[in-house]
């Protein structure tokens, strides 16, 4: 992280003293977009005029001593999977007509506006957010600010790249199989997938129980602040959880020393790049030295990829079947294969996968009666060459094959966060994942905060 890039918390503190204004912060973010986004391709839409109007309104509130909240006037972005009033939501697809009324805000967009955040624009996504990297026939390739020859990860790669490059302090992504945590790891930012239902969603995702929204930021404090905003209720999501009983902004400072953490370097079945493994192990040792009790153990489940594939492809096919005739020819070739596979799934297949998902959740629930959190690498590799769905020369054929640490916890609906753990010798960020029992978003954030304190942005 560059010293010149302030966190959202630092920006708000500067607003309060008058050292900086929301207009200046927004202009700085827009200048960063102008300077860096030609290379990174993090944004598919930027609305400078509208952003500056929001910043002016925020500046008046701060001047009058009436800010809306802890993030009033902070520049932010939103992934192009969320309905956003006044802006098209085309989800990285050539098959969605941008020329239609866009007069509805998703819960995420609505809560961000209500909290006074300055929305700069919408970030790139692969078509319907289907894979672990960010490129699409519509928007092209999104690249990693740490090394533009490498992928930013995905599917919230635009959001991660924007935050990492200072093109806005905050962003919100979606995560159906790791899509917030994968790019957070690759780009060196914080990305949280909270407990399922913690952030209301509308319209309902065809990926159903796998689907989450998640905040992305350059610090754990900022992630908690944004979660406070996004967790507010919305009647349009019947599966949403009740409002939190306490502020995540306060809970992040909980003392977690003395708690028991299970460290699983491989989940018992994952091949991890040796350099990534060493970086994560060093970060875990630092947590142990800080007072977290570490036990190296695996949670004891087999790779649930077959069940995940059924749930994922079924959801993709359901959504894509609503696209207009002729869409197959315009669709990402890899997604087209998933579409074809999903069409072959039966209700029995889906119910079997759902039963396996439930069994996995029960197993992890029992595991967390003995361990407060589970720690793993976020991704077993560092970022690879941009423009590829899988690492070139790896022999892999599908994105979940190189993301085995993330999708299991979409299936269990547990909170999981990726926090920067260090960098490779070539300067690529590596993330550490912290997983907690369902409804323990506060605990996961607090452990992440401890790591950030003992290894502050680990050479970032």
- How many angstroms separate the CA atoms of 138 and 430, rounded? 29
79 is catalytic: yes
Is-contact 139 114, C-beta < 8 A? no
First to last CA, the chain: 5
Q: Give me the catalytic one of 179, 219, 313, 418.
A: 179
179 is catalytic: yes
Q: Give me the catalytic one of 21, 93, 95, 155.
A: 155
Please name every residue paired with 429 in a beta bridge, in sequence order, or none if there are none: 423
Select from 370, 405, 340 the least CA-distant residue to 175: 405
- How many angstroms separate the CA atoms of 113 and 317, rounded? 33
Select from 14, 23, 77 the least CA-distant residue to 55: 23
Tell whether the torsion through CA atoms of 307, 214, 458 and 154 is positive or negative.
positive
Is-contact 280 430, C-beta < 8 A? yes
- CA distances, 206 to each of 209, 351, 354, 360, 428 (Å): 9, 15, 14, 21, 34
Contacts of 136 (CB under 8 A, 6+ apart): 92, 93, 124, 125, 126, 127, 332
211 is catalytic: no
What's the token pair of residue 422? 């260090």
Cα Rg, the chain, nearest whole Å: 20
Q: Give me the catalytic one of 79, 122, 131, 449.
A: 79
Contacts of 171 (CB under 8 A, 6+ apart): 76, 77, 78, 79, 123, 156, 159, 160, 162, 163, 215, 216, 217
The single residue listed with the structure tokens 């790669």 is 157
Q: Which residues are catalytic?
A: 79, 155, 179
């Amino acid at each position: 992280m560059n010293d010149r890039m302030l966190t959202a918390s630092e920006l708000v503190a500067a607003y309060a003293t008058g050292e900086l204004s929301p207009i200046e912060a927004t202009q700085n973010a827009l200048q960063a977009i102008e300077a860096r986004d030609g290379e990174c391709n993090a944004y598919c839409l930027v609305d400078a005029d509208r952003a500056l109007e929001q910043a002016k309104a925020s500046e008046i509130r701060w001047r009058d001593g009436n800010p809306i909240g802890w993030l009033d006037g902070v520049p932010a972005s939103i992934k192009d999977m969320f309905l956003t009033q006044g802006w098209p939501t085309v989800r990285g697809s050539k098959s969605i007509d941008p020329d239609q009324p866009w007069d509805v805000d998703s819960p995420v967009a609505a809560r961000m506006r209500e909290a006074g955040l300055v929305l700069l624009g919408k970030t790139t996504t692969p078509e319907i957010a289907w894979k672990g990297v960010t490129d699409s026939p519509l928007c092209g390739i999104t690249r990693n600010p740490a090394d533009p020859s490498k992928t930013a990860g995905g599917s919230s790669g635009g959001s991660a790249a924007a935050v990492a490059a200072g093109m806005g302090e905050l962003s919100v992504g979606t995560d159906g199989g790791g899509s917030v945590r994968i790019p957070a790891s690759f780009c060196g930012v914080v990305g949280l997938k909270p407990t399922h239902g913690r952030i209301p969603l509308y319209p309902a995702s065809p990926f159903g129980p796998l689907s989450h929204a998640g905040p992305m930021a350059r610090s754990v404090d900022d992630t908690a602040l944004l979660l406070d905003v996004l967790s507010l209720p919305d009647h349009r999501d019947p599966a949403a959880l009740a409002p939190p009983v306490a502020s995540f902004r306060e809970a992040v400072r909980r003392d977690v020393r003395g708690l028991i953490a299970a460290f699983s370097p491989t989940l018992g079945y994952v091949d991890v790049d040796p350099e990534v493994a060493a970086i994560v192990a060093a970060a875990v040792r630092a947590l142990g030295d800080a007072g977290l009790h570490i036990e190296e153990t695996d949670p004891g489940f087999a790779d649930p990829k077959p069940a995940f594939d059924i749930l994922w492809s079924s959801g993709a096919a359901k959504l894509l079947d609503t696209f207009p005739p002729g869409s197959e020819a315009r669709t990402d070739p890899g997604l087209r294969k998933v579409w074809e596979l999903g069409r072959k799934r039966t209700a029995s297949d889906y119910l079997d996968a759902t039963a396996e998902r439930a069994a996995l959740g029960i197993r992890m629930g029992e595991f967390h009666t003995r361990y407060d959190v589970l720690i793993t690498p976020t991704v077993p590799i560092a970022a690879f060459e941009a423009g590829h769905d899988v690492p070139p020369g790896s022999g892999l054929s599908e994105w979940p094959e190189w993301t085995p640490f993330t999708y299991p916890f979409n299936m269990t609906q547990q909170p999981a966060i990726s926090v920067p753990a260090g960098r490779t010798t070539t300067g690529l960020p590596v993330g550490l994942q912290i997983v907690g029992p369902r409804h323990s978003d506060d605990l996961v954030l607090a452990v992440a905060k401890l790591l950030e304190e003992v290894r502050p942005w680990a050479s970032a």
